[in-house]
Amino acid sequence: MTSTTGPLAGRRTLPRKYIPVLVTAALFMAMFVAGGIRYDGFATGQIILNVFIDNAFLLVVAVGMTFVILTGGIDLSVGSVVALATMISAVLLQHGWPAYAVIALVLAIGAVLGLGMGAIIHYFEIQPFIVTLAGMFLARGLCYTIGTDSISIEDATFTAFAQSRIELGGGMWVSPSVLITAVVVLAAAYVLHYTRLGRNVYATGGSEQSALLMGLPVARTKIAVYTISGFCSALGGLLLSFYMLSGYGLHAVGMELDAIAAVVIGGTLLTGGTGYLLGTVLGVLVLGLIQTIISFEGTLSSWWTKIFIGLLLFAFILLQRLIGARRR
């Protein structure tokens, strides 16, 4: 039996589940400090805000992906659903639909697609990888049936939203998309940590069989997280429409991989059951800061972004493996 007396008595060790998030936070701070030392005008608050502005749509998509991965699943359809949302928005606005009716319809379509994939995954017991891969091809194919060219968005509501700036004082500002993203993140964090659905998400990801034995609604939980992911993908598509003012079938190619990378770098286990939404936010910030540093450098190809992301993924997957091994 281990004694609790002596000089080590009362010392609290840091729970291992917090280590990946803290490592991501430390990495972000180190990159920011290094960038501030190397580049003039880098270490400013607006640089961080610019990362949020340029990646608001990715963060919303990554929030939905966090729910899915926490249950031990995966959603490969998110990038295609984002593109489909931009195409539907552009076409309907071109045909004179009211902006808010378009927004409501796009969000409903995203949620229904997610609900359908979640139901197929659970009731037919098909691997999420296969079902969401089919969803990816379906959504991308629908984009090309709508049109193969980029469609400009000239609607007054979308244009006004895209051009608006919210002044924060001190010369700093954000776009309305950042505020929407902040609301989504806060709402998702509340759901995950303070509601029954959130507890069921973690329990299902920890052990689906145990969750069933405890009488938890695993079916409803799995369907719910894919519905949330579909809704977040559609919302991300709307934010991308505001950002690009266009709909295009080739928008968001590979975004599903960026979202998964952000979630994993943020410390969420791919096997499910462990992770925090704060980590996902930090993961998106790290990805965005990598792009910012490369643009400040000026001499590096944009492909270096993918190289650095790949190296970080390797590092964080190894970290997760080591933490899991030490738990056993």
Residue 10 has pLDDT above 60, yes or no: no
Q: Is the pLDDT of residue 319 over 90?
A: no
Would you kindly state where each structural domain of the chain is located, as residue ranges? 17-33+43-320
Q: Is the pLDDT of residue 328 over 60?
A: no
pLDDT for the residue numbered 181: 98
This prediction's pTM: 0.92
| Least confident span in 55-59, 75-79, 211-215, 233-237 | 211-215
Confidence of residue 2 (pLDDT cuts 50, 70, 90): very low
Determine the pLDDT at residue 258.
94
pLDDT value at residue 3: 46
Output the pLDDT for position 71. Answer: 96
> Within 13 Å of residue 298, how many CA atoms lie on the same side as its CB?
3
pLDDT band at 169 (very low <50, low <70, confident <90, very high): confident
Average of pLDDT values for 245-255? 95
pLDDT tens per residue, range 43-66:
899 999 999 999 999 999 999 999
The mean pLDDT of 132-155, rounded to a whole number, is 96
At 111, the pLDDT band (50, 70, 90 cuts) reads: very high
Per-residue HEC secondary structure of the chain comes to CCCCCCCCCCCCCCCHHHHHHHHHHHHHHHHHHHHHHHCCCCCCHHHHHHHHHHCHHHHHHHHHHHHHHHCCCCCCCHHHHHHHHHHHHHHHHHCCCCHHHHHHHHHHHHHHHHHHHHHHHHHCCCCHHHHHHHHHHHHHHHHHHHCCCCEECCCHHHHHHHHCCEEEECCEEECHHHHHHHHHHHHHHHHHHHCHHHHHHHHHHHCHHHHHHCCCCHHHHHHHHHHHHHHHHHHHHHHHHHHHCEECCCCCCCHHHHHHHHHHHCCCCCCCCCCCHHHHHHHHHHHHHHHHHHHHHCCCCCHHHHHHHHHHHHHHHHHHHHHHHHHC
What's the rounded mean pLDDT across residues 200-229?
Answer: 95
CA–CA separation, 240 and 133 (whole Å): 22
What dotted CATH number matches 17-33+43-320? 1.10.3470
Whole-Å CA distances, 62 to 121, 165, 259, 280 = 20, 24, 5, 7
Instruction: State the average pLDDT for the chain.
Output: 91
| Res 4: pLDDT | 47
pLDDT band for position 141 (cuts 50, 70, 90): very high
- What are 276-311's pLDDT values in tens digits? 999 999 999 999 999 999 888 877 777 788 888 888
